[in-house]
Amino acid sequence: MELGLVGLGKMGGNMRERIRRAGHTVIGFDHNPDLADVHSLEELVGRLTGPRVVWIMVPAGAATQSTIDALGELLSPGDVVVDGGNSRWTDDEKHARELAEKGVGFVDCGVSGGVWGLENGYAIMYGGDAADVAKVQPVFDALKPEGEFGAVHAGRVGAGHFAKMVHNGIEYAMMQAFAEGWELLEAADSVTDVREVFRSWQEGTVIRSWLLDLAVRALDDDEHLTALRGYAQDSGEGRWTVEAALDHAVPLPAITASLFARFSSRQDDSPAMKMIAALRNQFGGHAVTAATGAEKGADAPGADVEPPVGG
């Protein structure tokens, strides 16, 4: 099939390549001309044959809204817009209503996989009407990991981003647990090789996981994380998860505590936050702040799905 893709940053660019490897045609647009296949949204839409599917991978908020507004003027009834960024689920409902007035369908899609998605595939959670989802299904199949799992039609419009939001909230709590355990091991005089303790957990334990593997990888790069400042950003999704818990009267003590722990990193050079920062850099390519205060690992400016979000 043909796909228009808007936003070719860390994730968008790799997604374009994975979809192409599956045999589909992808026409990409980005404000960075070095990344783009076309010079404008108008040219992108003009290159596609109907019914068109345009997938946007730009930052949540104003950038997403302006892109959807522009596409609403360019697309035709029967076309579909997919928002694969990290938009709030309540924005999805608004975007779907606006596009429906023009006869254009809307699908929201939470995407997880970070910088590893090109080779490993992306976990995708999408919401929308079945007819609209069907028009995008070949792309979902191309992006998902090999095997039975990794993709889900989560429900109505907004369900995909809501599911991804909860995923990121769980991710917060898991990273915080690893970080706190690492800090305690580092503080104990009797433990002489914390990195190898973490490595030993990779087999045979109930906490073995990809996050644990990434923690070991980070410690292999910098055994005591001395090159990092203990500062970690929090994503909009972490805050939205806690807000949704309040709205639904659902207790989230671990996820809420992990969000507030991120705030503590704004106040001092937290050792646990060094591990959080290292893990975010490992799985998502997110920029880290060196112990000297300089930022490392940031991508060049351009549209991207996750500045500064994890997951």
Annotated active-site positions, please? Answer: 164
- Label the pairing between strands 295-296 and 288-289: antiparallel
d(CA 214, CA 216): 5
Q: Which two tokens stand for residue 122?
A: 């992306």
Give Cβ neighbours of residue 280 (< 8 Å, ≥ 6 apart): 175, 232, 233, 286, 288, 310
Q: Are 56 and 84 a contacting pair, CB within 8 Å?
A: yes
Q: What is the CA radius of gyration of the chain?
A: 20
The helix (run of H) or strand (run of E) holding residue 157 is: none
Residue type, 286: H
Do residues 279 and 215 make contact, with C-beta atoms less than 8 angstroms apart? Answer: yes
Angle at 281 between CA 183 and CA 65, to 5 degrees: 125
CA distances (Å), 306 to each of 14, 84, 102, 202, 233, in order? Answer: 13, 10, 29, 28, 12
Using the structure block, give the residue that is written with the tokens 């099939």.
Answer: 1
Spatial distance between the Cα atoms of 106 and 261, rounded to a whole number of angstroms = 36
